[in-house]
Amino acid sequence: MWQWISAHSAAISIFFNFLMVVVWVTYLQLLLVQFRATRRSSILITRAAGRGMRSRCLVTNMSSQPLYVTSLIGTLHVGDRQIELPLTDLRDLPDDLGNDPRSKMGQGSLNTGQYLDIGHFHDIVDVMLAANDETEVEVTEVDQFDLTVVAFYSREDLPVGATRSFHFDHAAAKGSRVKPLGLSTDQIRQLRRRRALLKQVEYHM
């Protein structure tokens, strides 16, 4: 046994050195993945408390660090038209914002797991139509609602964001239904999309 080890010591040494390199590369890869995960924002946009137009729209911070939601931008699809408005400053708010001022304002700092409740889908659509002077358009004529969340994460200068679309099925047997288009929230992390997001926010300022 010892004779065989002595005869093949060079090959054994190379093997163990290679094995050590593999272990270190794997370890460094895991560290890199964990580091990147802590620096990546993750924002969840969901429908909650039902499936109808009185269900609520929630924005949740699923990132590993706090983020600051600075703006919410909604888009209504009415036939072949699109109505895009910022929801954050869409209406004057009372002095007393209650126990959840961030949800009332549609902005604020969110720790991991915290959320904004931006209201019923019906109310969101109704307020947007009124703000855009769409007096002849009924809520039941709106086919789809897109929500874009704009936030600042970590110490980066450009905003990050997320977007999700919801289809309104007004022909459902049990009344109008809100159906998310897609299983997940689209995260806006790429540099090109973040620059476009910044321009979109500046347009609505």
Where residue 104 falls among pLDDT bands split at 50, 70, 90? low
Tell me whether strands 67-78 and 144-153 are parallel, antiparallel or unpaired.
antiparallel
pLDDT average, residue stretch 131-157: 89
pLDDT average, residue stretch 57-83: 92
Candidates 58, 56, 81; CA nearest to 142 is 81
40 Cβ neighbours under 8 A, 6+ residues apart: 63, 189
Least confident window among 28-32, 146-150, 168-172: 28-32
What DSSP letter does each residue of 66-115 carry, written as one string?
A: -EEEEEEEEEEEETTEEEEEESTTSS---S--TT-HHHHHT-EEE-TT-E
pLDDT average, residue stretch 103-128: 87
pLDDT of residue 195: 93
Candidates 95, 45, 24, 35; CA nearest to 65 is 35
Candidates 166, 167, 156, 138; CA nearest to 194 is 156
State how far Cα 4 lies from the chain centre.
61
The pTM score is 0.78
Dihedral angle computed from the Cα positions of residues 33, 35, 36 and 41, in that order, rounded to the nearest 10 degrees? 130
